Homo-oligomer: A and B are copies of this chain.
Amino acid sequence: MQAIICAGERQLSVQETPTPELTAGMIRVKIAFGGICGSDLHYYQHGGFGTVRIKEPMALGHEVSGVIESIAPDVTGHTVGQRIAISPSRPCGHCRFCQMGIHNQCLNMRFYGSAMPFPHIQGAFCEYILVYPHQVHPIADHLSLSEAALAEPLSVGLHAIQRSGSVMGANVLVTGCGPIGSLLIGALRRAGAQTIVAADVADLPLTCAKAMGADHTINLMKTPDALAAYKADKGQFDVVFEASGSAPAFMNALDVVRARGVVVVVGVGAEVNLPLSQIVAKEVDVRGTFRFHSEFATAVRFLNDRLVDGRPVITSTQPLSAAVAAFDMAADKSKSLKVQIAFDA
């Protein structure tokens, strides 16, 4: 079968690899669509991020949908031909954090396409993949397999909301409206946020944010002072989600969140120069959020009934043969939001 393999910085190719053989307890899935994520891009563009580096060839990808191709005899409850979204979250279930119910922090996590451990965890950008039954989430007849591949980034948004406590009735700001930020906005609207303000430095993501349910959008490149009014009286937002990974956006968040408000940090790129008095005086609560686990089922359920409609986020679909071009396209954030690979095109 074919797979999208990254061997290091700018070393990306579609390669022939062995098709995995079906083993006991497993389900083999023919992959349909795969969305290119920011971490996939980091591996491609920089060979990794921070201390995480690609040290051996690794298939990328973790946002995938597909069709069940074959099922081990000891697995029940599934049928060949079922159209599914696939959760890439494979915690061990036994470690300290799994036993606390914090599976996304599993000490032995095998998340698709991750160079954190060595040997690396091979990704899901390939034609066939073996999955555990718990990874399988059937989709509704009317939902496209392309949309189903949004379940993963939508889960990231849902988990970020869980980390915030609750947004029901809250006034919320989202900074950074790429695919994650935009799907988060769709989730926030569904989770009962009262007012959603979306900010970015480009128009395309803001158009998407609006389509996903934002009440107001702010282009910080065109109107850099548009957030200033929200600093009044110790801040006006109950919750801020920082999804741009930019240092100024994070500092802005601390200014516009209200006293005792919550800043959820979704984006990872930034290194900030932070006077701790900014956190102390208003008693801000800065919370990291990372991946998801149980939220995947919720994401599929929301997509299935279009309680969240992710279609505005997908800006392009490319065949597997054009995978490298697709990655280059995804890297231009002013022109692309989510770029997907069609594996059976």
In the complex, whether A57 has a CB less than 8 A from a CB of chain B is no
12 A-B contact pairs sorted by A residue (CB < 8 Å): A50-B277, A93-B99, A99-B99, A105-B260, A158-B169, A169-B295, A194-B297, A245-B276, A265-B279, A268-B277, A271-B276, A286-B287
Q: From known contacts A93-B99, A194-B298, infer whether A287 and B277 are also in contact, taking CB-CB under 8 Å.
A: no
A301 → chain B, closest Cβ, in Å?
A: 5
In the complex, whether A234 has a CB less than 8 A from a CB of chain B is yes
Q: From known contacts A99-B101, A234-B97, A276-B272, infer whether A166 and B165 are also in contact, taking CB-CB under 8 Å.
A: yes
B162 touches A169 (CB 8 A): yes
Stretch at the interface among A122-130, A185-193, A216-224, A335-343: A185-193
Which B residues touch A290, using CB under 8 A? 280-283
Enumerate A33-65 residues with CB–CB distance to B below 8 Å: 49-50
B276 touches A273 (CB 8 A): no
Cα distance A50–B275 when bound, in Å?
Answer: 10
A265 touches B289 (CB 8 A): no
Cα distance A284–B194 when bound, in Å?
Answer: 26
Which B residues touch A333, using CB under 8 A? none
Provide the A243-271 mask, 1 if CB < 8 A to any CB of B, else 0: 00100001000000001100001111111
B276 touches A280 (CB 8 A): no
A108 → chain B, closest Cβ, in Å?
A: 11
Which B residues touch A286, using CB under 8 A? 279, 285-287
Enumerate A80-139 residues with CB–CB distance to B below 8 Å: 93-94, 96-105, 107
Closest to A167 in B: B168
In the complex, whether A294 has a CB less than 8 A from a CB of chain B is yes
A168 touches B163 (CB 8 A): no
A278 → chain B, closest Cβ, in Å?
A: 8
Enumerate A157-179 residues with CB–CB distance to B below 8 Å: 158, 161-163, 165-166, 168-169
List the 7 closest A-B pairs by CB distance, nearest first.
A101-B101, A105-B259, A279-B288, A191-B192, A280-B288, A169-B298, A166-B166
Closest to A242 in B: B276
In the complex, whether A233 has a CB less than 8 A from a CB of chain B is yes
Which B residues touch A297, using CB under 8 A? 169, 194
- Interface residues on chain A, number (Cβ under 8 Å): 67
A189 → chain B, closest Cβ, in Å?
A: 7
Closest to A97 in B: B259
Contacting residue for A233 out of B96, B169, B281, CB 8 A = B96
A276 touches B283 (CB 8 A): no
In the complex, whether A195 has a CB less than 8 A from a CB of chain B is yes
Other CB < 8 Å A-B pairs besides A195-B301, A268-B281, A282-B290, 18 of them? A49-B277, A93-B99, A97-B234, A99-B99, A166-B168, A168-B192, A169-B294, A169-B298, A191-B192, A192-B298, A245-B276, A280-B288, A280-B289, A283-B288, A284-B288, A285-B286, A286-B286, A286-B287
In the complex, whether A228 has a CB less than 8 A from a CB of chain B is no
Closest to A107 in B: B233
A58 → chain B, closest Cβ, in Å?
A: 19
Closest to A233 in B: B107
A89 → chain B, closest Cβ, in Å?
A: 13
In the complex, whether A307 has a CB less than 8 A from a CB of chain B is yes
Cα distance A295–B169 when bound, in Å?
Answer: 7
